């Protein structure tokens, strides 16, 4: 299992991640705009977002510094700038579902866990302490 900090920005992900890569001596290894996503996976209704996300914003960015990983995206307007979410990356569907169920107990599910174009399982929740989490079981690249 990996715990990966996930930063939410409001239209500044590309610049911020390039800056962090320069400062930390790392490399942005992945970046995808919302317009790069499959048509049926627009993130509309992600969490309590009011509608479609601007297709020119960054849907996913990954910075690697040695063995450390930092992820970020321009989140839906409801998430706003300054949001920090912990992304848990697990190896199996069963582990994803177990961890998601346990963390969401007493909390609020913002996006039910399910299959996406990038993951066997992915979901978002806010735990009983008000902290945001994502659970991710990635598909092979």
Give per-residue pLDDT as tens, 129-138: 888 999 999 9
101 alpha-carbon distance from chain centroid: 18
Q: How far apart are CA 135 and CA 88, in angstroms?
A: 5
Q: How far apart are CA 2 and CA 88, in angstroms?
A: 6
How confident is the model over 28-38, as a mean pLDDT?
92
Dihedral angle over CA of 55, 56, 60, 65, nearest 10? 180
Residue 26 pLDDT class (50, 70, 90 cuts): very high
What's the predicted TM-score (pTM) here? Answer: 0.73
Token couple for 38: 């499959």
Dihedral angle over CA of 11, 62, 116, 92, nearest 10? -150
Name every residue whose Cβ is closer than 8 Å to that of residue 40 and which is 6 or more positions away in sequence.
none
Give the pLDDT score at 9: 87
Does domain 2-138 sit in CATH 3.30.365.10?
no
Greatest Cα pair distance in the chain: 40
How confident is the model over 55-76, as a mean pLDDT?
91
How high does pLDDT run on average in the chain?
87
Residue 45 pLDDT class (50, 70, 90 cuts): very low
Question: Which tops the pLDDT comparison, 138 or 54?
Answer: 138
Give per-residue pLDDT as tens, 73-131: 987 655 445 678 999 999 999 999 999 999 999 999 999 999 999 999 999 999 998 88
């Amino acid at each position: 299992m990996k715990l990966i900090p996930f930063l939410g920005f409001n239209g500044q992900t590309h610049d911020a991640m390039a800056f962090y890569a320069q400062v930390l001596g790392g490399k942005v290894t992945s970046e995808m705009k919302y317009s790069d996503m499959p048509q049926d996976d627009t993130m509309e209704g992600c969490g309590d977002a009011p509608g479609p996300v601007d297709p020119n914003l960054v849907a996913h960015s990954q910075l690697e510094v040695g063995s450390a990983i930092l992820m970020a995206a321009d989140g839906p307007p409801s998430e706003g700038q300054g949001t920090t979410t912990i992304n848990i990356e697990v190896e199996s569907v069963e582990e994803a579902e177990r961890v998601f169920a346990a963390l969401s107990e007493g909390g609020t599910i913002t996006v039910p866990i399910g299959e996406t174009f990038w993951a066997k399982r992915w979901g978002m929740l806010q735990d009983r302490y008000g902290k945001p989490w994502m659970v991710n079981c990635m598909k092979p690249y």
